[in-house]
Structure 1
């Protein structure tokens, strides 16, 4: 049935209230209550166009056509939509704001989906939205799409629900009762349980009511977690079980407020000797409110400096945990450079040096070893910092989270995991604190790199035939090591002769071959630490312009002058790996370029496209280029 014939169908029977309206305005109010502007947008989304007939609205919202027509007429009377009669088409309605969308910010709320679409948002709106919603798509072309998730409400930086509501209404420019009802329900969930310290020194789990204690906590926890009940709303917690309790109740949908009176350790006066950016100070302020959190931002946004600001705020002895020995040294140097601390107050603890000092930087691996743990357990830390904290949920690294401290802080450019254990990051360390990437790009604090996926043809028939006869992971390995990529890497380096370039690979054999073809060093886990430091220093001081890196370059290597990244293989690994490798060029200086090479017509194409979609949702522009033949071949043929 066409829209036109649907509009001419017999009217549905009216309800008693519709048959005897008291007056026209009362009828409009009744219709408006059952058909809001948000409903209009929901129906418009379903229909895939901004104009609706009454029949289209009725189908999308599963109501009668008369109910849809009356609701649309009520919205017209309120000035929310415009009515237009078009021959030979039926009457259509469209949003009044459609006429001036190009001139101002527009916020559209979809309460049923708990989504907010914002077109041309200003910095204030985005800062407000970041306090209670997750930026799911920030490419700006179809507007910014925010999603309200339970964890966003649980972690909102507000002391009261009323304060959160004020922020929501400021950001949305309107009041959405269905959305606010859901937010209030999540806010209430986040305040049902808390951990406190009993006057005798042990930990107590408190519930807001006997019902929630009995129906939730005592169903999820057992003798491994609690000794015994103290009352209908209190349980005596076993020492060391706090993290497990927080994780289990979080997974059950009830985050636990941690109000324990933990020892803060010896006082340590720290002054920050670098000026903070506005958003860094905001991160620190939000950390100060809760005493824990994870700073989330792109590479180059200054998470390490912000962490030092948190150290200064805490004013206590600090343990910093990092994934590699190289990062230990970099952290130690940075603490001395950017704070008032002296070198003798900063210790390094790893395979080569074992110093425990007021500020100690150690690797996760060594902090988790039984023979070293007592050194860290015996000291009362005011703050533990978990750098690259996306590692924390892994079975090896999570042992380090058993270390007790008054405050916890994580740092990560991309706190996502392919095993879907990322929620454990926030239960073990703290809630996410960050600024959306697009805002940092626009403000000029971080340069937005240009990303291009280049689909490269096979370099020879031998590999093409091997790929055709292989299956599973072996096919990806063959495509990743396509020798045709060597020519394209050469071409890209020659096209950017003045660039400081990093070439990333996933396979040692491929890295050695590329390094030999380019006559440059290859740094991998097999490279001795002293040689690795020397090569990196050469790169920093402009003595060397090109390095080939294995996975050691994904995290923990500070390359602030890199302005060109070529990913020869590796984006098939994980979204986090894609973020780290592409993000190595994100620094305040502009003009950064990232090229991702994928063998044309193979599974590597899909892998690369999928992983870079994650960066596209953060606001980066991703181009695609299909190469018929490598540029070097074209030059040889004089084309």
Structure 2
């Protein structure tokens, strides 16, 4: 979209907003009943055409008030009336006649939800600035939820600028929603951490009331020494992160405005061009000074992080989960920036070099005997790769390292222990682009996902499952020997594909590798052997690898055309995202098959893993495997692809 087109679009949106608002008197008349109220009633009733009585029942309001509101909306042209034989009048939205040809935005202020059919790129870009995409499906629309953290992280200097973005996105004024958003905007500006002229940290509040009723109720002597004034508390050294987390959870994010050291200047030029959405990420990070880049695997978060390094131009510490990732980061920085090998160091079990840009592991950074090396150096930027681990007790010690700029990277900032809010309090607010937008723009290829329900391979395992309990039941189902012929079948159905087969259990991995006559890569595989196997896979010398949990993250797996999940980590949404992400790339298609033993808890675990991706816009199918039908097809010489050869019943994953 050109600048002129954008200006025209803005002017058109502004005219639509003004037209929707009408005069002051008209707005006052309609405050009691809006088009959003009609849509709310329509959704509750399950149909778009309603009588006044049906609207009144759905909204639990008086017939008289509702009828007056319907008349006013009809006068404005938002509703149409139609007389029918069985009732004096029925009402329906004026836009109902051309819904298939135009964008439609429906707002539910009470639930703070926005449902959009056929949104264009402009609308989605505007919505992403203050709302979270909860469900994305190009066929049936998009559901956005406005959460407090979305408002807190909105990239605007004033609420008036944010209000303009809201009205441009919605095409109308929604006073109740705007009032709630403004209240959250104000909450995000009640507290800040600043540096006192004597060098210690002070927690400041905007008023004595908010300091007394919130901060001094939530914090104790572990966090602050003593009050300095009615609106200021002297902060204990090292408790800054805890204070930010506690007040964040209380609904009051703290603005960190301390005078942190930025370290030595380091000139960095990025040698590759950022995609438009990556530039937006970097711009928002530069404005806030902290944040978490959230995007699907393959969206280029590492390259965007190097773009952030180039903006900061300060000495940088990169924290990663493993030595393999440390090496990959070092190679990527040398390849994609103006820095040379002598300026990039690694500090871990393999080598210990602290340089202007240093990559180390979370474990090393959190160990007391190494901490002083990193504490003594003044970093301009600290990067937390795979930052979904930061809330864990082992990893969070690394967040005590202080820097003027903090950046996290994650494809899946979710945790099964519900501590994901700590990611954003310890590192920074989320910055990202919805997955469906990247799929639609062609930046990342959308994989095809299918859950395949496999029968038991033999009675022995099935009987053992029936008598087992707890995690042992899940393990038996995961290691179902009936999955071996299914994996052989899928590999044979896609003979030109490069494939990764994921397992959770080492014994299962070894057995599968032996059955398929392919290598098994696990945590027990020596680092030099890992590199050799992965390089041979990248070159195309090998087309199949069996991989344990070590492949979920911590190593840079080459992209594959086909991923087969033979067993998963009890339905972890994060693990499902990571494994599916191994097939995401800018071009080409990819297939992901998740195998689950039919009639066991593994079915529920598989659905749980993939529903999370379904809500991000990825299409997920289900299929029940019938080995007898497949065998008959093979006897008849049917060598069609798996999607056509398997006659099992197919459906989509339900929400």
| 1:412-448 alpha-carbon deviations (Å, 9 max, x no partner) | 0010000000000000000000000001001111000
Match of residue 395 from structure 2: 397
Q: Structure 1 residues 489 and 26, CA, compared in 2 at 3 Å: closer, same or farther?
A: closer
Is 1:366 paired with 2:364? yes
Distance 2:28 2:280 in 1: 44
| TM-score normalised by the chain length of structure 2 | 0.92
Worse-superposed segment, 470-479 or 385-394: 470-479
Within-5 A mapping of 1:508-527: 508-527=506-525
Distance 2:302 2:393 in 1: 25
Could you say what secondary structure the match of 2:283 adopts?
helix
Match of residue 21 from structure 1: none
Contact conserved, 2:447 with 2:592, CA < 8 A, in 1? yes
Question: How many aligned residue pairs are there?
Answer: 615
| 1:124-171 alpha-carbon deviations (Å, 9 max, x no partner) | 111111110000000133310000011111111111111110111111
Distance 2:140 2:113 in 1: 14
Is 1:198 paired with 2:220? no
Which residue of 38, 44, 51 corresponds with 1:40?
Answer: 38
Q: CA deviation at 1:66?
A: 2.5
Match of residue 598 from structure 2: 600
Is 1:149 paired with 2:154? no
Match of residue 292 from structure 1: 290
Match of residue 353 from structure 1: 351
Could you say what secondary structure the match of 1:298 adopts?
coil
Distance 2:538 2:125 in 1: 35
Q: Structure 1 residues 524 and 90, CA, compared in 2 at 3 Å: closer, same or farther?
A: farther
Q: CA deviation at 1:612?
A: 0.6
Distance 1:457 1:526 in 2: 31
Is 1:498 paired with 2:502? no
Is 1:105 paired with 2:103? yes
Within-5 A mapping of 1:67-106: 67-89=65-87, 91-106=89-104
Within-5 A mapping of 1:273-422: 273-422=271-420
Worse-superposed segment, 402-411 or 44-53: 44-53
Is 1:237 paired with 2:235? yes
Distance 2:179 2:208 in 1: 24
Distance 1:630 1:294 in 2: 49
Within-5 A mapping of 1:134-173: 134-173=132-171
Within-5 A mapping of 1:583-598: 583-598=581-596
Match of residue 121 from structure 2: 123
Q: CA deviation at 1:633?
A: 3.9
Distance 2:158 2:30 in 1: 31
Contact conserved, 2:559 with 2:582, CA < 8 A, in 1? no
Match of residue 57 from structure 2: 59
Contact conserved, 1:491 with 1:631, CA < 8 A, in 2? no
Structure 2: runs of 5+ lacking an equivalent: 1-22, 639-655
Q: CA deviation at 1:28?
A: 7.8
Match of residue 580 from structure 1: 578
Q: CA deviation at 1:31?
A: 5.5
Q: CA deviation at 1:630?
A: 6.6
Which residue of 552, 566, 569 corresponds with 1:568?
Answer: 566
Contact conserved, 1:445 with 1:588, CA < 8 A, in 2? yes
Distance 2:440 2:258 in 1: 40
Contact conserved, 1:53 with 1:93, CA < 8 A, in 2? yes
Match of residue 132 from structure 1: 130
| 1:186-224 alpha-carbon deviations (Å, 9 max, x no partner) | 011000000111111111110000010111111111111
Match of residue 9 from structure 1: none
Match of residue 619 from structure 2: 621
Match of residue 488 from structure 1: 486
Distance 2:634 2:449 in 1: 27
Contact conserved, 2:563 with 2:582, CA < 8 A, in 1? yes
* Structure 1 stretches of at least 4 aligned residues deviating more than 6 Å after TM superposition: 25-30
Q: CA deviation at 1:571?
A: 5.3
Match of residue 7 from structure 1: none
Distance 1:29 1:501 in 2: 60
| TM-score normalised by the chain length of structure 1 | 0.94
Which residue of 251, 254, 261 corresponds with 2:252?
Answer: 254
Q: CA deviation at 1:69?
A: 2.0
Distance 1:582 1:189 in 2: 38
Could you say what secondary structure the match of 2:82 adopts?
strand
Contact conserved, 1:484 with 1:630, CA < 8 A, in 2? no
Contact conserved, 2:570 with 2:602, CA < 8 A, in 1? yes
Q: CA deviation at 1:30?
A: 6.6
Distance 1:466 1:634 in 2: 29
Match of residue 227 from structure 1: 225
Distance 1:193 1:520 in 2: 57
Could you say what secondary structure the match of 2:416 adopts?
coil
Distance 1:28 1:147 in 2: 29
Q: Structure 1 residues 215 and 382, CA, compared in 2 at 3 Å: closer, same or farther?
A: same
Match of residue 544 from structure 1: 542
Contact conserved, 2:571 with 2:608, CA < 8 A, in 1? no
Q: CA deviation at 1:27?
A: 11
Q: CA deviation at 1:90?
A: 5.1
Contact conserved, 1:457 with 1:630, CA < 8 A, in 2? no
Q: CA deviation at 1:67?
A: 2.2
Contact conserved, 1:31 with 1:70, CA < 8 A, in 2? no
Is 1:264 paired with 2:249? no
Could you say what secondary structure the match of 1:375 adopts?
helix
Distance 2:386 2:86 in 1: 62
Distance 2:554 2:310 in 1: 23
Which residue of 428, 431, 440 corresponds with 2:429?
Answer: 431
Could you say what secondary structure the match of 2:621 adopts?
strand
Distance 1:482 1:627 in 2: 14
Distance 2:475 2:83 in 1: 61
Contact conserved, 2:456 with 2:482, CA < 8 A, in 1? yes
Could you say what secondary structure the match of 1:34 adopts?
coil
Distance 1:342 1:28 in 2: 66
Q: Structure 1 residues 29 and 538, CA, compared in 2 at 3 Å: closer, same or farther?
A: closer
Structure 1: runs of 5+ lacking an equivalent: 1-24
Superposition RMSD on alpha carbons, in Å?
1.5
Worse-superposed segment, 394-403 or 460-469: 460-469
Could you say what secondary structure the match of 2:137 adopts?
coil
Distance 1:481 1:626 in 2: 18
